[in-house]
Structure 1
Amino acid sequence: MSSITPLRAAKGGAVSILSVLKDFGNFRAVDDVSIEIRPNEFFTLLGPSGCGKTTLLRMLAGFEAPSDDKILLDGTDISMLPPNKRPINTVFQNYALFPHMTVAENIGFGLKMLGKSAAEISSSVEEMLRLVRLENAGNRSVTQLSGGQQQRIALARALAPKPKLLLLDEPLSALDLKLRKSMQIELKRLQQETEITFIFVTHDQEEALTMSDRIAVLNGGKVLQIGSAPDIYEHPADRFVAGFIGETNFLEGDLMSSADGVGTVALRCGPVVEALTAKSVASSGAVTIVVRPEHLELVAPGSPQAVDATVEQIVYFGTDTHVHARLSDGTALTIRQQNRPGPKEGIAVGRTIGVTIPPRVAQILKD
């Protein structure tokens, strides 16, 4: 059973998922998941396809019931409440707008179903149009809107009844890259202005890192780590989290000593490095360290405490360049360099480069 104490908040929107299980026949989609989501938080469920994130979202919405234990909203068990009895709205991947209705009619639909007066609906629709910055679009058909505008209308419709909780099921996946990036900023703004708890489901690490107050990383139906974006990126709990969140280099070595959160590791490829460690890591023995590409430094081949590698590919991304190289033992490395004006270093495919790991930028992973 979970040790979580259910949250109860004055404004509402506190969620406690307590040791929840969900089985489909013999397949366990969600396995003993416990998560505490704070009121007015932008919380993301992140993981690959089949990890259980969408099933968890569907249980929050009321479209699926837990096989065991419960889900609380502001301290009240909602596990068996039907969707229409929950103060929760959902924005789906396909938006689900009504094509025969105007923008204003779409936004006001939920309020109409709740029996609100025409004056209340009109006032709320105007408020929502201002919130999503589409003040003059009320009389337009939703079929005349761009993908980004339709996304905003779907959000406005979901927010109009002022739910305690807004669920977002990969709502940005159909947008092009530039629009997706702008909508990430827009979603975060909307969450902050409305002070509604947002629970966002995605497989996109960049979306999660950009928008979230906290992230839960799931795999195989289990929660592997919960933390802020910097916590998860800089201090991954295990090899899966490290590899799933952004680009990562893994290097094998032997832990020689450890004290005060820092370990000295003799890498199999040669150098001795200082790496951050966790209390749960043993004081000696074989270990794996993880180091992000932006923390590696290029030096002349043969430099002290450097390991030589052969450049296999150079990929230009505009703001930075990724150098893909390989060590003599076959280990692949990615080095990320920020692009600056002026002459470039003489790095070319087939050349030998030196790579160093500065002190305390790598992390020792626990077994």
Structure 2
Amino acid sequence: MSTLFLHGIGLLVTNDQHTSGARADDPLGAVEDAALIARDGQVVWAGRQADAAPQVARLLQGDVERVDAGGRAVIPGFVDSHTHLAFAGDRSAEFVARMAGERYAAGGIRSTVAATRAASDEQLRATLQHFERELASQGTTSFEVKTGYGLDVDNEERLARLAREVTDEVTFLGAHVVPSEYADDRSGYVDLVTGPMLHACAPHARWIDVFCDEGAFTAEEAERILTAGRDRGLGVRIHAGQLGEGEGVRVAVGLDAASVDHATYLSADDVAALAASNTVCTLLPGVEFSTRHPYPDARALLSAGVTIALASDCNPGSCFTSSMPFVIALAVRELGMTPDEALWAATAGGARALRRDDVGRLSPGASADLVLLDAPSHVYLAYRPGVPLVRRVWKHGVELRVD
């Protein structure tokens, strides 16, 4: 039996309002002068250090790792619910062109498809493992990975299979764009995605996704593809509203999708539909930073009662960052979110977007996925943008290397 005892915590964010010492009206469940005990990878107690004495006597048994936080903040590990990490190739020239004024379009994905198809399993595996370490070094302990850069049966299957080696949250995104070889046969490609490709990828995936937007897939195509995936037991997610308003939100809410991602362009009806649904709106401000599109209005979504998640959308084309602290800083500066709202969205919000209740919080029963910041408060994530504030990281109670 292994036990982790963190004490001397200046500010502990639990995302549980019922935590001892937290205000009942505080969604972060934040506790000052706190301590936390985890056993065998799960949180078993968290609260004010002044209340810890009886818990210490009862719970600190066997092999105990004692960590003095020295007055620093401890937060849940970030939950990055939207990434595209299974790829090969480079699109830095495309970024330079955008910074010179060229408009972003979905078609650039096809250049990554060519490079990914040409890469070996060993190269792709090494890339995924590199990103797994990179994410951990920035405090991300749970993350999703999409396919979508293979766009044929064999390559989509191997991307899903290799992604499963680093995360259980694998999303089949065969409907990323229509590949060049099907440019004159869109319906044939949809048949492939909903048939042999889905059959090959479903055993490795938990989710199905569609890019429903200008230059990608129509609402009708998206609904057909997502329904086929749902019928195979996969959860539903959707890319929508990145390049303009459309019908993606309607499709998503109708299928009880876990999340609608991007949502840069939403109508008033879209916002109302999301507010009345169980679908999380996942915002990806790193994309707007990299593409120069307008930032979404998080304040309007929150005011309407929409649940928001923040994610990186790390990919080689429209947003090549894996840094959730950077995403939080953008959300505070550009999306109109408070530091508290941004942190919640990057942890508990991401968990909701993945329909998980074991991560994104630090209360009894949750996985002991936590981050010790080199700062007295989570506010410093936005207050000191670009500064590496992640000091130590644990996943399931085991410390990860962050150097």
TM-score, reference length from structure 1 = 0.30
Structure with the higher helix share, 1 or 2:
2
- Greater RCO (Cα-Cα under 8 Å, separation 6 or more): 2
TM-score, reference length from structure 2 = 0.28
Higher Cα Rg, which structure: 1
Structure with the higher strand share, 1 or 2:
1
